[in-house]
Amino acid sequence: MILEDLGLRIKQLRAREGLSQESLALKIGMDRSYLASIEVGGRNVSLLNLKKLADGLNVSLSELFEDL
Amino acid sequence: MILEDLGLRIKQLRAREGLSQESLALKIGMDRSYLASIEVGGRNVSLLNLKKLADGLNVSLSELFEDL
């Protein structure tokens, strides 16, 4: 399901960037516990937050969703 | 801005598919006026609705966001 798939993708990209949840959340101005709930597929994330996440992970939105 | 850019992309893809707002909205179970507001950049669309739109327009989420 897309929420879980996106959560896993964000977790993988975050690890690739060597960022903790804390540091990514701080970088993009998002609450850490909200980011944690996104990573476990628990949030129907909005486009503006998706864009913040993509920017914070140094990928385009298209790359964020590649093969999902 | 991403909301406007996405709205324009959806409008272009919808035209490519030869779908009216009414028929796309019906196809994906979305309110027509809500779709209309998305197309003018007026909505911070959620991931589940983005997935419905991509499916209804016969593209992947990655394609939906290509070059945005």
ipTM: 0.95
pLDDT at residue number B36: 98
Closest CB from B47, B62, B66 relative to A2:
B47
In a domain, A65, yes or no: no
Give chain A's end-to-end CA distance (angstroms, integer).
Answer: 9
In a domain, B47, yes or no: yes
What is the three-class DSSP state of A14?
helix
Are residues A64 and A53 in contact, defined by beta-carbon separation less than 8 angstroms? yes
Q: Please answer yes or no on whether A51 and B6 come within 8 Å at the CB atom.
A: no
Helices (H) and strands (E) counted in chain B, each on its own, are 5, 0
In a domain, A47, yes or no: yes
In a domain, A45, yes or no: yes
> Domain holding B44: CATH number?
1.10.260.40
In a domain, B68, yes or no: no
Give contacts of B53 with chain A, Cβ < 8 Å: none
B26 lies in which domain range? 2-58
**pLDDT of chain B, 68 residues: tens digit per residue:** 999 999 999 999 999 999 999 999 999 999 999 999 999 999 999 999 999 999 999 999 999 999 99
Q: Under 8 Å CB-to-CB from A61, ≥6 apart: which residues? A: A50, A51, A54, B2, B65, B68
In a domain, A32, yes or no: yes
**Which among B5, B38, B55, B13 is positioned nearest to A68, based on CA atoms?**
B55
**Considering its fold, how many domains does chain B have in total?**
1
Q: What's the full length of chain A, in residues?
A: 68
